[in-house]
Amino acid sequence: MAHDEPVLTARAGRTAHLILNRPRALNALTHPMVRTIDEALAVWEGDDDVTAVVISGAGDRGLCAGGDIRVIHEDTRTGAGVSPAFWRDEYRLNVRIARYPKPYVALMDGIVMGGGVGVSAHGSVRIVTERSAVAMPETAIGLVPDVGGTYLLSRAPGELGTHLALTGQTFGAADALLCGLADHFVPSDRLGALRAALAGPEVREAADVRETVRRYATTAPEGRLDTDREWIDDCYPAGSVEEIIDRLRGNGAPAAKDAAETLLTRSPTALKATLVAVRRARRTATLEQVIDQEYRASCAALTFPDLQEGIRARVIDKDRRPRWSPKELAEVTDADVARFSAPPPGGDLGLGAP
């Protein structure tokens, strides 16, 4: 394949490789990239000469910074309606990865955010490094965490997932391991040797892949969230976003007050919809059912002004001064929040249907 393609595929031994190849755009996902990945995985699933799949990102900045939100911004501006089709294929890909019958090795080196979490953290062998910067930052642009993010975060210990979903806080290797979004820590300078080992003639079965990764894995540097568990678990069970913020402000920990200040910069509508989504995901049995709900939420976000405004402030004008509408949490109605759970005009995704 030509080296300027946005997704490169390769074979080394019995290992197939997917390389996200838009380094200048932090390997942000486009609709054609999603289709290419899905098609490659379908072919390799039926290929007896492929033992495992490895996904990585080109360049030295990260695996993937998420979906190409400039395209979503243009969609909100023009009303072209292309985003639901992208999400349908992206979310189906996330489920394919989660159910993939062969080891799916995700090298979560550098930036791994949003859609980047979707193509990595659902894999069966997830590797973080000292450079890993993982986040689901959707509330900062007027979205609810998607790509199965509410499913993953709802399964994190205590209220850690609620905290990460609402704030969009970036976390490193140890915290990704703690929250269940990663399995192994491998120093970044050993990834090349790991790739070579996975291509070796002795790697012929799934068990060989897992054993090879374990040989290169070591203990991650200390994270932050384990220390913060006390105030997070105390503040986030509150009944509303407003009460969570009050508890955070009243807590003695400086980090709790910082979290409150962060929440006050996020889309009020997205915050309230996200709290509902994470708590519902915790009660929902399967990834497919949760992603069905996330699809509803993403389609609903297209009808609210905060999505266009959030992307403008973060990516287009980069002034980091979004003008949310409504501006205050108290102005977000129950009817507004309910719209994020309603079937979209084009119909449901239907992954979790009986």
Strand partners, 18: 9, 55
146 is known as an active-site residue:
yes
Lookup: tokens for 6: 């946005």
Describe the crossing of helices 268-283 and 241-250 by its angle, rounded to 10 degrees: 100
**DSSP line for 98-157:** HT-SS-EEEEE-BEEETHHHHTTTTSSEEEE-TT-EEE--GGGGT----TTHHHHHHTSS
138 is known as an active-site residue:
yes
Please compute, for residue 19, the number of CA atoms within 13 A of its CA located in the half-sphere on the CB side: 18
- Which of 90, 109, 146, 175 is catalytic? The answer is 146
**DSSP line for 302-348:** TTSHHHHHHHIIIIIS-------SS-SGGG--HHHHHHTTSPPTT--
Burial of 167 (0-12, 13-18, 19+ CB in 10 A): buried
- Which of 62, 67, 114, 149 is catalytic? The answer is 67
47 is known as an active-site residue:
no
347 is known as an active-site residue:
no
- Which of 90, 138, 183, 228 is catalytic? The answer is 138
State the catalytic residues. Answer: 67, 115, 138, 146
